[in-house]
């Protein structure tokens, strides 16, 4: 279905408007409508955020196709190449140093830039600019500075992709501040689990919003590995933190790490891995 929507344009960008022609017309039947992140994003028109999400899905589909449907590999690779180029060229605003929500370039949400990074559509030069421009538009997390009632930077469902992209860009200070403000709010309200939404009215033990635990393990503690590999890389991105201690589960057992900063440099007090797992620092 998304291939069909993408094929409406030579550049493969997705139109987020309600589809026309012989597409389902009623909203409740429409499987292609784009909701974005509510009022935080522009969810209409030839849409960079929607297209970046599609590009992320295409990359996953390509990897699966290599294993189960090699006849689809060439088509997926072509789509990826065209879409990556289109997002990079048509949604990027050189003056602002940001990606726009749509090709009309009237709105520049953090989502547009961070999804472009997550999708692999931001060039190294664009990523360098984003490291300069994104911090200013990623604060405050709570619009009023203290709770969710006047709005938040993002809803939890989008946060995983946005936070992952901040770490990818090396903006761990920004990511750390957001986690402190947003998930710290849950702690201040007495929760010991991760809530589904910042209003704390729905599920107060929600697996999808527990991603700060994963990101602290991967980026702050610094443990990274492919589940099919017997090699683990330890490369912390500490931000302003001065120490970390924890363990990350590997299929063969726990990878344990403890580090602290000494004169601004990371010193490892403990690195341990299960038998058969090679550890590489850095």
pLDDT confidence of residue 226: 81
pLDDT confidence of residue 29: 52
Domains present along the chain, CATH in parentheses: 1-122 (no CATH), 138-220 (no CATH), 228-282 (2.60.420.10)
Cβ(165)–Cβ(115) below 8 Å: yes
The two tokens of residue 9 are 């344009």
pLDDT exceeds cutoff 90 at 206: yes
Region 11-24: mean pLDDT is 80
pLDDT exceeds cutoff 60 at 10: yes
In degrees, rounded to 5, the angle at the alpha carbon of residue 215 between the alpha carbons of residues 107 and 280 is 125
pLDDT confidence of residue 34: 86
pLDDT exceeds cutoff 60 at 27: no
Region 46-50: mean pLDDT is 97
3-state SS of 103-166? CCCCCCCHHHHHHHHHCCCCCHHHHHHHHHHHHHHCCCCECCCCCHHHCECCCHHHHHHHHHHH
pLDDT confidence of residue 24: 55
Q: Indicate yes or no: pTM above 0.85.
A: yes
At residue 228 the predicted structure's pLDDT band, cuts being 50, 70 and 90, is: confident
pLDDT in tens, 99-125: 999 999 999 999 999 999 999 999 999
Region 209-238: mean pLDDT is 92
pLDDT in tens, 246-266: 999 998 999 999 999 999 999
d(CA 66, CA 73): 6
Region 196-206: mean pLDDT is 94
Cβ(254)–Cβ(277) below 8 Å: no
Q: Which residue has the higher pLDDT, 203 or 23?
A: 203
Question: What percent of the chain clears pLDDT 90, i.e. is strictly above it?
Answer: 89
pLDDT confidence of residue 151: 96
pLDDT in tens, 130-149: 999 999 999 999 999 999 99
Region 158-176: mean pLDDT is 97
Across all residues in the chain, what is the average pLDDT?
93
At residue 22 the predicted structure's pLDDT band, cuts being 50, 70 and 90, is: low
Region 17-27: mean pLDDT is 63
């Amino acid at each position: 279905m998304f291939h069909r929507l993408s094929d409406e344009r030579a550049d493969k960008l997705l139109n987020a408007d309600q589809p026309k022609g012989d597409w389902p017309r009623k909203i409740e039947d429409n499987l292609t409508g784009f909701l974005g992140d509510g009022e935080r994003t522009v969810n209409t028109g030839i849409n960079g955020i929607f297209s970046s999400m599609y590009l992320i899905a295409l990359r996953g589909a390509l990897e699966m196709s290599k294993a189960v449907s090699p006849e689809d590999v060439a088509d997926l690779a072509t789509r990826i190449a065209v879409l990556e180029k289109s997002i990079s060229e048509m949604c990027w605003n050189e003056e602002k140093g940001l990606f726009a929500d749509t090709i009309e370039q009237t709105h520049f949400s953090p989502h547009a830039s961070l999804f472009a990074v997550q999708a692999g559509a931001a060039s190294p030069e664009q990523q360098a600019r984003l490291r300069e421009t994104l911090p200013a538009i990623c604060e405050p997390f709570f619009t009023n500075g203290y709770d969710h009632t006047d709005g938040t930077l993002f809803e939890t469902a989008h946060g995983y992709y946005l936070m992952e992209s901040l770490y990818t860009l090396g903006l761990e200070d920004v990511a750390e501040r957001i986690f402190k403000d947003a998930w710290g709010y849950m702690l201040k309200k007495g929760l010991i689990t991760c809530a589904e939404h910042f209003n704390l009215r729905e599920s107060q033990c929600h697996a999808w919003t527990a991603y700060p635990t994963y990101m602290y393990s991967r980026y702050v503690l610094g443990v990274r590995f492919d589940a099919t590999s017997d090699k683990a890389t330890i490369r912390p991105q500490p931000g302003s933190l001065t120490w970390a201690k924890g363990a990350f589960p590997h299929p063969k057992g726990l990878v344990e790490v403890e580090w602290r900063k000494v004169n601004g440099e990371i010193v490892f007090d403990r690195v341990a891995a299960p038998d058969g797992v090679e550890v590489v620092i850095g």
